Amino acid sequence: MDSELIRRLAHVVGDDGLVLDEAAQAPYVEDWLRKWRGRTPVVVRPRNTTEVAAVMRLCRQSGTPVVPQGGNTGMSGGAAPDDSGAQVILSLNRMKRIREVDTVNNTITVDAGVLLADVQNAARDAGRHFPLSLGAEGSCTIGGNLATNAGGTAVLRYGNTRDLALGLEVVLPDGRVWSGLRGLRKDNTGYDLRGLFIGSEGTLGIITGAVLKLYPRPQGRVTAWVGAESCDAVVSLLTRLQARCGERLTAFEMMSAYCVGLVSRHVSGAACPLAGEHACHALIELSDAAPEGLAELLEQSLAGPLEEGLIADAAIAANESQAKAMWRLREGISQAQVRAGKAVKHDIALPISRLSAFIKEADAAVAREFPGLPIVNFGHVGDGNLHYNVLLPLDVPHEEYVHLTAGLNRCVHDLVVQRGGSISAEHGVGQLRRDELRRYKSTVEMDLMLMIKRALDPDQLMNPGKLL
């Protein structure tokens, strides 16, 4: 990259807004999974929207591709530069202003670089609740959550990030700023521009600010861990609880016995709260702004399935620390997989009514075609979203990993799409699913997305090689 551009970038963001040193660039050029590693001439860290716009104008004038980055916790390789050394990383990690909290309109307006955990805390400090919750909340940013339309463990009750955003501020590839930071629940004035940028994974523009919905703070929550003899039983339990508890059911996570064993072995302090072996487990949580009768409701809702034998055992957390221990067991799966081996990950979504049949077919297909490989099956089953992963040994040779990944992806994703499912429920497409997308999306869908991409980013500078 020519020194003139570096000088101009420094003029915009200040010298401490540039990361030129290769060692200092390390956390930016490799993803959390250590699956994608690239090179960059410079990481640019603007302090505000005006600086982002000025950086974008400079990159456009010089034809320099830009990779937007938040917390770099994405699981699809969307925030990693390629190995050309030509792509600038534009990190939002200096844009951390909480611009406004409006407890009457129940909205919070934040910079894109604000950590999800900090938005949750700001909401709590204002006596409200911002429900988006995922294992990476301590390091992922709101901009990344919006760009990937992140899901997490509260989608069942509150929806995914798309459902939680009312307004956006976006710097376009030509450097103009779209100021759409309106906190309106109704605004029918043309195309859904907000919807276009949410989930666009940095390929259409840079999200620099957002207006997010706030909810009444849950005044009470009750958490339970359940053991059952099949995934079928767990899915049936979900249906029963939804019917009985309605909106008070705010989380329903499923995991196989293998997952629970993996976490118990690889995450210190994590232990299953139930005695005995159960083929399938679930973490269930009720919460409400009006907490009266919550614990009784959960007890009564589990009593029937226990008596009928739909579930084999259940433990209700007696206090906050027991509830936290249950969540640690669930949230520990990502980490446990990384320590135990090389996971071939799938982030699939299906209609809930088809989950059980899929699991049976996929288990049989993987056992038949890839004998001996453990299946790490868990996820947000309340949203029809499974992380149906297959674990390869830590020392699996790279070529074998690539070969097995291609075969397993084809096996699992063909089964998913045949059942009307999606090959990427919440992690996005990034680099990971880009080539498979063409196999599973219709020509019309691909054409529509390419038309939008060409219209907004005609110079193809935004996050090249990702998504499309």
Binding mask 336-375 for ligand MLT (x = CB under 6 A): ---------x------------------------------
Query: What DSSP designation does 51 have?
Result: H
Between 278 and 345, name the residue whose CB sits nearer to ligand MLT: 345
Residue 406's CB is within 10 A of a number of other CB atoms, namely 13
Verify binding: residue 234, ligand MLT, rule CB under 6 A: no
Site for ligand FAD in 200-229 (CB under 6 A): 201-202, 206-207
Verify binding: residue 423, ligand FAD, rule CB under 6 A: no
Scanning 17-25, 99-107, 146-154, 397-405 for contacts with ligand FAD by CB under 6 A, the matching segment is: 146-154
Verify binding: residue 333, ligand MLT, rule CB under 6 A: yes
Return all residues near 72 (Cβ < 8 A) that are at least 6 apart.
27, 28, 31, 32, 79, 80, 139
From candidates 44, 112, 181, 312, binder to ligand FAD by CB under 6 A: 112
Total number of residues binding ligand FAD (CB under 6 A)?
A: 37
d(CA 325, CA 285): 13
DSSP string, 337-386: HHHH-EEE--BEE--GGGHHHHHHHHHHHHHHHSTTPPEEEEEEGGGTEE
Site for ligand FAD in 303-332 (CB under 6 A): none
Which residue minimizes CB distance to ligand MLT? 334
Between 119 and 390, name the residue whose CB sits nearer to ligand FAD: 119
According to DSSP, the β-strands at 88-91 and 43-44 are parallel
CA Rg, the chain, in Å? 23
Verify binding: residue 337, ligand FAD, rule CB under 6 A: no
Nearest-approach distance from CB 447 to ligand MLT, in angstroms: 30
Site for ligand MLT in 30-69 (CB under 6 A): none
From candidates 221, 278, 342, 427, binder to ligand FAD by CB under 6 A: 427
d(CA 156, CA 300): 21
Residue found under tokens 């949203």: 383
CA 312, distance to chain mean position in Å, is 31
Return all residues near 59 (Cβ < 8 A) that are at least 6 apart.
65, 66, 88, 461
Total number of residues binding ligand MLT (CB under 6 A)?
A: 6
Query: What DSSP designation does 218 have?
Result: P
Site for ligand FAD in 40-99 (CB under 6 A): 67-75, 78-79, 92
Q: Which residue ranges make up the site for ligand MLT (CB under 6 A)? A: 135, 333-334, 345, 379, 387
